[in-house]
Amino acid sequence: MSGFFKSSIGRKVAMALSAFFLMFFLLQHLSINILSVLSPETFNEVSHFMGTNPLVQFVLQPILIFAVVFHFVMGFVLELRNSRARKVAYAKNNGAANSSWMSRNMIWSGMTILAFIGLHFVDFWFPEMNTKFIQQDWSGTMEGVEGLRYHHELVEKFVNPVRVGAYAFAFVLLGLHLAHGFTSAFQSMGGTAGRKKILQTIGKAYSILIPLGFITIAVYHYFNH
C-alpha cells in the first residue's frame, strides 16, 4: 500500500477518490442548506438529526475531516512535485496556450478555499463541538431562541455584508477549482475515454450550480434576516 501512494499514479488516484467524496459532500451539504430557505423547520429537524446521529458524528464526520486534510495536503504535494517539470515544459512550449489559467493555479485557489474552510470551522464546527462535547448539550436548543437553534445560528452568520462577500468570493474560487478538478478526477481514474465532452459539460454545470447555490443562500439570508 505504501508503494501505491509513492507512485505518481497512486497519488493521483487517491487524490481523485478524495475529490469524488468531497464533491458528493458538497452536493449533500447544499441540499440541506437549501432547506434553510424553503423550510426553516425542516432545516432544523434535518440539522438536528445529522448533528446527533452517531453514524454521522463518529464515523462519517471523521472520514470527512480526513478527506479534506488529505485532499489538500496531497494536492500541495502533487503541485510541488510537478512544478519543476511544468517549468521545463513551459520553457520549451507555450504553457499558457496549452492549459487553462486555473489548471496552472490550482494550488492558489486551493489555499484560499482551505482558508475559507478554516473560517467555516471557526464559525460552525468548533462551536458545535464545544456545545455537544464540552458543555454536553445535545438538545439542539438555545436560550432565547424558540425551537431548535440551527436556523438561527445560520442566519446570524450572514448579517455582516463583509462576511457574505468573503463567502461569495470563496465559492467563486471553489467554482473555478471545480471546473478543472471535476474532469481531472475522472481522468485520473481513467474514466474520460469517449466521454470527455460529456464529463466536461457535467463538470461545468456542477462547478457553476453548486457555488451559485451556496452564494444564493447566503445573499437570501443577508436580505431576509
Radius of gyration (C-alpha) of the chain in whole angstroms: 20
Domain spans, the chain: 2-224
How far does CA 24 lie from the centroid of its chain?
Answer: 9
How far does CA 157 lie from the centroid of its chain?
Answer: 18
What topology is assigned to 2-224 in CATH? 3 helical TM bundles of succinate and fumarate reductases (1.20.1300)
**CA dist list (Å): 211 to 12, 25, 93:** 25, 13, 34
Judge contact between 192 and 183, C-beta under 8 A. Answer: yes
Q: Shortest CA distance to 153 belongs to which of 130, 121, 123?
A: 123
> What pLDDT was estimated at residue 55?
97
pLDDT single digits (tens) 181-198: 898 888 888 776 778 889
> What pLDDT was estimated at residue 204?
94
> What pLDDT was estimated at residue 6?
60
> What pLDDT was estimated at residue 90?
52
> CA-CA distance, 202 to 187, in Å (whole number)?
14
> What pLDDT was estimated at residue 74?
87
For the chain, residues with pLDDT lower than 70 are 1-7, 84-105, 192
> CA-CA distance, 156 to 177, in Å (whole number)?
28
Q: Tell me the pTM.
A: 0.86
Judge contact between 113 and 207, C-beta under 8 A. Answer: no
